[in-house]
Amino acid sequence: MNKQVSDYKMSNIYSVFENHFPVDRKKDFIETVDGQHISYAELELQVTKICHYLVSQLGLQKGDRVAVQVEKSPQVIFLYLACLRAGLIYLPLNTAYTESELQYFIENAEPSLVVCRPQSMALFGKIAETNPIAHIKSLDEQGQGEIIEAASAQDSGFTTVECDKDDIAVILYTSGTTGRPKGAMISHGSLAANGLSLVNYWQWTEDDVLLHALPIFHIHGLFVACHTALLSGSKMLFVPKFDADTIIGLLPRATAMMGVPTFYTRLLLNDGFNKDVCANMRLFISGSAPLLEQTFEEFQQRTGHTILERYGMTETGMNTSNPYNGERLPGTVGFPLPGVEARIVHDDGSQVNQGEVGNLQVKGANVFQGYWRMPEKTAEEFTGDGFFKTGDMAMMNDQGYISIVGRGKDMVITGGFNVYPKEIELEIDEIDGVLESAVIGIPHADFGEGVTAVIVASDKAQLPTEGEMIRLLKSKLASFKVPKKIIIVDALPRNTMGKVQKNLLRETYQDIFQ
Taking only the tens place, the pLDDT of each residue in 373-389 is 999 999 999 999 999 99
Residue 34 is predicted with a pLDDT of 94
Is there a domain that residue 425 lies in?
A: yes
**Containing structural domain, residue 231:** 190-381+388-409
Same domain? For 367 and 422 the reply is no
> Which residue from 156, 146, 15 is spatially nearest to 85, judged by alpha carbons?
15
Q: Are the C-beta atoms of 77 and 44 separated by less than 8 Å?
A: no
What CATH number did the domain enclosing 279 receive? 3.40.50.12780
Is there a domain that residue 97 lies in?
A: no
Residue 76 has what DSSP assignment? Answer: H
Residue 5 is predicted with a pLDDT of 45
What distance lies between CA 352 and its chain's CA centroid? 30
Is there a domain that residue 39 lies in?
A: no
Report the alpha-carbon distance of residue 299 to residue 330 in Å, rounded.
Answer: 11
- C-alpha distances in angstroms, 257 versus 49, 283, 380? 31, 7, 36
Q: Stretch 24-48: mean pLDDT, rounded?
A: 97
Order the strands of the 283-286 sheet from edge to edge: 37-39, 28-32, 235-238, 209-212, 256-259, 283-286, 308-313, 317-321, 335-336
Query: 247-251, 281-285, 287-291: which range is least confident on average?
Result: 287-291
Amino acid making up residue 370? G
Same domain? For 346 and 244 the reply is yes
Residue 444 has what DSSP assignment? Answer: E
Domain tally, the chain: 2
Same domain? For 313 and 404 the reply is yes
Percent of the chain at pLDDT > 90 equals 83
Count CB neighbours of 39 within 10 A: 17
Q: Stretch 454-483: mean pLDDT, rounded?
A: 94
Same domain? For 317 and 416 the reply is no
> Which residue from 94, 65, 312 is spatially nearest to 170, judged by alpha carbons?
65
Taking only the tens place, the pLDDT of each residue in 63-87 is 999 999 999 999 999 999 999 999 9
Is there a domain that residue 3 lies in?
A: no
Q: Would you report the helix, strand and coil content of the chain in percent, each value rounded to 5?
A: 30, 25, 45
pTM to 2 decimal places: 0.86
- C-alpha distances in angstroms, 466 versus 128, 158, 447, 469, 470? 35, 55, 20, 5, 6
Same domain? For 225 and 372 the reply is yes
Which distant-in-sequence residues (6+ apart) come within 8 Å of 42 by Cβ?
A: 29
Which distant-in-sequence residues (6+ apart) come within 8 Å of 506 by Cβ?
A: 440, 441, 442
Q: Stretch 340-365: mean pLDDT, rounded?
A: 94
Residue 108 has what DSSP assignment? Answer: H
Same domain? For 326 and 337 the reply is yes
Same domain? For 367 and 462 the reply is no
Instruction: Tell me the pairing of strands 317-321 and 135-138.
Output: unpaired
Report the alpha-carbon distance of residue 76 to residue 82 in Å, rounded.
Answer: 10
* Cβ-based burial of 129 (10 A; exposed 0-12, middle 13-18, buried ≥19): exposed
Same domain? For 207 and 356 the reply is yes
Is there a domain that residue 47 lies in?
A: no
What CATH number did the domain enclosing 465 receive? 3.30.300.30
Is there a domain that residue 51 lies in?
A: no
Same domain? For 257 and 333 the reply is yes
**Does residue 174 have a pLDDT over 60?**
yes
Query: 43-52, 141-150, 237-246, 348-357: which range is least confident on average?
Result: 348-357
At residue 62, φ and ψ (nearest 5 deg) are -50, 130
* Alpha-helical runs (H) found in 396-512: 421-428, 466-474, 502-508
Q: Are the C-beta atoms of 290 and 296 separated by less than 8 Å?
A: no
Which distant-in-sequence residues (6+ apart) come within 8 Å of 348 by Cβ?
A: none
Same domain? For 482 and 428 the reply is yes
Same domain? For 227 and 365 the reply is yes
**Does residue 147 have a pLDDT over 80?**
yes
* Alpha-helical runs (H) found in 389-465: 421-428
Is there a domain that residue 98 lies in?
A: no
Same domain? For 405 and 262 the reply is yes
Is there a domain that residue 301 lies in?
A: yes
> Read out DSSP for 482-504?
S-SEEEEES---B-TT--B-HHH
